[in-house]
Amino acid sequence: MTDMQRQYKDSANLNARIAIHVKYGPPGKAFSVADTGLITANAKVLDIGCGPARFWAVNAAALPAGLELTLADQSQGMVDEAVQTVAAVKGKFRAVTGKVADVCALPFADRTFDVVTAMHMLYHASDKDRAVAEIARVLKPGGVLIATTNGNDNFIELEALTAHVFGALPDQLRSTSFSLESGHPHLERHFNEVAVHAGTDILRVTDAQDVVNFIRSYPPGSDATGEQLQRLDAELAGRMKAQDGIFPITRIAGYMVARGPRR
């Protein structure tokens, strides 16, 4: 099993990270794809790298009627959870299908979908160009890709703390390889029109354990020794003490909209 397969065999690690956003995300979200109007009534939608599909459950009320939703992920565990999550709001959708799929070799015919969402996942693709070309291929000519991701300096304080205690993060699990800055050229090779929407805010973390849980949800923190965890606790306590009990984290995230797929 690769690091990636271990990481996403189910949603436990991802949920440890989402928790910090839910608890400390300031009111007035940096962005919400559900509010963009890009997902239109009765659209055939592919969510690739859907994870546990939290987006579709949380935003069910804001989404238009009649969506035909395909939830796809390379992890069978994630697909199973996604279908279960959406079952709770199933009346909202015209149809929901789960499918194990690799974004670099999508098991769908050309020109199938009106909308493809790729939320915080293209940075995991082994071949970014191939992944974007595949998405362009399965989109209808008037279709749209919505790709969410982070900015290069997203969570910079947390990465600095991790690097200080454990050494650098493994590249495979960082978002810089398909970020708001670096993803753009890949999209332009396969789409006629690309727009970037970015937002920045600060998560003011008051409970050190939330930071520890986040760091321990992926390597190298997930393999920490007892001695490393003690160093992490001490370092974090020192940084929070110096900042009135707060560990501020800069969140830079957003979405890219690509239209006019080229094959």
Ligand X SMILES: C[S@@+](CC[C@H](N)C(=O)[O-])C[C@H]1O[C@@H](n2cnc3c(N)ncnc32)[C@H](O)[C@@H]1O
Interface residues with ligand X (CB under 6 A) are 8, 14, 48-51, 54, 73-75, 78, 102-104, 119-121, 124-125
In the complex, what is the shortest distance from the CB of residue 29 to ligand X, in angstroms, rounded to a whole number?
14
Q: Give rounded-to-5 percent helix, strand, coil for the chain.
A: 40, 25, 30
Residue 120 or 186: the one with the smaller Cβ distance to ligand X is 120
Residue 107 or 248: the one with the smaller Cβ distance to ligand X is 107
From residue 184, alpha-carbon distances to 82, 198, 200, 207 in Å are 28, 12, 18, 36
The answer to whether the beta carbons of residues 117 and 33 sit under 8 Å apart is yes
The C-alpha R_g of the chain, in whole angstroms, comes to: 19
In the complex, what is the shortest distance from the CB of residue 103 to ligand X, in angstroms, rounded to a whole number?
4
Q: How far is residue 140's CA from residue 114's CA, in Å, rounded to a whole number? A: 6
Residues 12, 16, 18, 19: is their CA dihedral positive or negative? positive
Residue 48 or 165: the one with the smaller Cβ distance to ligand X is 48
Residue 102 or 153: the one with the smaller Cβ distance to ligand X is 102
Residue 113 or 239: the one with the smaller Cβ distance to ligand X is 113
In the complex, what is the shortest distance from the CB of residue 30 to ligand X, in angstroms, rounded to a whole number?
14
In the complex, what is the shortest distance from the CB of residue 244 to ligand X, in angstroms, rounded to a whole number?
31
Residue of minimal CB distance from ligand X? 51
By residue count, the chain amounts to 263
In the complex, what is the shortest distance from the CB of residue 245 to ligand X, in angstroms, rounded to a whole number?
29
Task: Quickly list H helices, 174-248.
Answer: 183-190, 208-215, 226-241
